[in-house]
Every structure is written in C-alpha cells, then in structure tokens.
Amino acid sequence: MSKPKIVVTRAWPKEVEAELQRHYDVTLNTTDTPMSTAQLQDALRQYDAVCPTVSDKISAEVLGARPLRAKILGNFGVGFNHIDLDAARARGLTVTNTPEVLTDCTADLAMTLLLMAARRAGEGERHVRTRAWTGWRPTHMISTKVTGKTLGLIGMGRIARAAAHRAHHGFGMKIIYFDPFPPPPEAIKDLNATQCGGIEEVLKQADFVSLHCPGGRENYHLINAERLKMMKPEAILINTARGDVVDDQALIAALKQGVIKAAGLDVYEGEPRVNEAYLAMENVVLLPHLGSATRETRIAMGMRVFENLQLFFAGKPVRDKVV
C-alpha cells in the first residue's frame, strides 16, 4: 500500500521532518519561503495532508481548490484563526492543532515581555549598545515595580494560567481575570485569583493586562481606544495572543498620549508587517512572534502534528480536532 502524500508548508525542526519522512511520502519546504495562494491550492489538489503554520492564510479561496485531494490540515500551532474553519468544514476537511505543548514557553515569554516593558529593558539595552550610557545615577531610567502588583488576564486558558502561576508565586502578584468560559475552580485554586464580571472590570483594576484570548472575528480589536482609556495611566499591556485582538492605531495613540504607560508585543495584526509607528517608540517592547520558539517546544509541536496524522490515517479519532 502506498504511503499518504504530505506537504509541509514551511521548514520544521529536522527531528520532526525526519520522523515524517519515515512514515509518509513527504514534500518539504527546504527554502522555508511562504507558499502563495496558488501553491496552497495546488497542495490541496495533490496531497492527502497539508501541514500549514500560523503564517499560512488558509482562506476560503485557498480551500475552494478543485478537485480536492487533501483530507486533513495538520496545523503547526495552537492558534487557527488563519484557517477559514467554515470553509474547511464545508469541504469535509479535518483540522487539527497543537495545544498544551507550547503552554510553558509562551507563558515564559509573556512574563519576559511584562518584565521588559516594566523595567524598560529594551530601551536600556539600546542605551548601552549606542554608548549613550554615562553611568549610574539616582534618576536614570526610572521604571515600574512588578512584585506585588495586580496582573489582569483576558482569557484564562492554559497559557494564561501558567503565566498567572509565574506571576503569583514568583512575583507575589495579585491575579484577576475574565473569561466567558472560565476554568474550573480546581484549575486555579493555588492562584488565589479573582474572577471579574467583564473585560472592563479587569482593565480598570490591573497594573498589567495580559491578553490570552483567541483571535478572529469574535475578538477582533477587542482592545480598542475606548477600552484602553479604561486602563490606569501607569498600566502596561502585554499581547502574546493574536495581533488582531488589538487595534494598532488605538494602542499607538494611547502610548504616545500617555493613556497607558507601555506595552509588550509578540504578535501583530497583518504580521510580519509591523506598524512603522511602533518602531520609533521607546515605550513598547517588540518581539518577532517568539512565544513558542524554543527547540524543545517546536519539536513537541511538530510531533503533535505527526501524532494527529498517525491517528487520522489509521482511521482513529484525532487527538486535537478543531474541525
């Protein structure tokens, strides 16, 4: 019996690519260049499985490819707002993602951004590199204390809870949160966390607001000008969720006008494009979507895709079914 044909849309860790090659007839993206709409459509016509990443826009146009050979989209990533799920469902495609395995590293990065933005670490590092530093002095680069402050979480899924654990147990932070689908009490019993009645309540009380909600239509520009004005003037916004959750223009204006103090961003609307205004601002920390970017996590993500493919082609229920 011939092996299922699989295409991997970007370069993956070599360990995962080797495992896929042992079990499937695999086409790898050896140049690691993004595939065009036409190339993605061809992949759906020619392969039994397409393995995209969050940088591939699997739109209704892409999914309209005919004839359709593909049966499964094995997505490399926990987020799936880059895939038109309604169109995938209409074409009878199974869609899987890679939850759980990137929780710790993404939570680590959320705390990295929080600390960097609070303590002006990016600005300070540039200060040293440009030889502008003239020595220690009592009023130089005064920043914001983290220990003992209030962390507000928008969304309380696995990553948010992991970030809360670090903040509460590591920095003695008070945890408040809002999630329309809150976790069971036993999942957060060690955090002494307070559930708020809405997003606005979190924004008004928190010294730091960290976003951990899905992207897509439901949360598009969830953080807008009106909501930014609800935050404390000394508050700091952290986004490791999805770029479209934040209205860029509103955040830029808020940072410039002192509506809030600072921000730490790992994701951007329309990435890899980054709004030019951010690049000139010292009170925003910018990272290139590094949430899951550790060797251990990226291998684990790839192996989770592999596991889902193994189950699917064996005719068994997949572990991480989205559609």
Calpha distance 264→214 (Å, rounded) = 18
CATH number, domain with residue 82: 3.40.50.720
Report whether 67 contacts 304 (CB < 8 A).
no
Kindly report, residue by residue over 248-295, the tens digit of the pLDDT.
999 999 999 999 999 999 999 999 999 999 999 999 999 999 999 999
Same domain, 272 and 302: no
Same domain, 74 and 126: no
- For residue 318, tell me if it sits in a domain: no
At 84 the pLDDT is: 97
What is the domain range of residue 255? 103-286
Kindly report, residue by residue over 175-193, the tens digit of the pLDDT.
999 999 999 999 999 999 9
Same domain, 68 and 125: no
| Alpha carbons within 13 A on the beta-carbon side of 250 | 17
Kindly report, residue by residue over 60-114, the tens digit of the pLDDT.
999 999 999 999 999 999 999 999 999 999 999 999 999 999 999 999 999 999 9
Same domain, 108 and 255: yes
Same domain, 96 and 123: no
What's the structural domain count of the chain?
A: 2
Same domain, 253 and 236: yes
Question: Kind and range of the H or E element at 18?
Answer: helix 14-23
3-state secondary structure of 301: helix
Calpha distance 80→112 (Å, rounded) = 24
| Cis before 34 (ω within 30) | no
Calpha distance 196→176 (Å, rounded) = 7
pLDDT above 80: residue 1: no
Kindly report, residue by residue over 3-35, the tens digit of the pLDDT.
999 999 999 999 999 999 999 999 999 999 999
Same domain, 48 and 118: no
- For residue 210, tell me if it sits in a domain: yes
Same domain, 157 and 15: no
Catalytic residues: 242, 271, 289
Same domain, 24 and 39: yes
* Residue 286 CB neighbour total at 10 angstroms: 16
pLDDT band at 235 (very low <50, low <70, confident <90, very high): very high
Same domain, 49 and 96: yes
DSSP string computed for 140-206: TT-----TT-EEEEE--SHHHHHHHHIIIIIH--EEEEE-SSPPPGGGSTTTT-EE-SSHHHHHHH-
Calpha distance 265→122 (Å, rounded) = 12
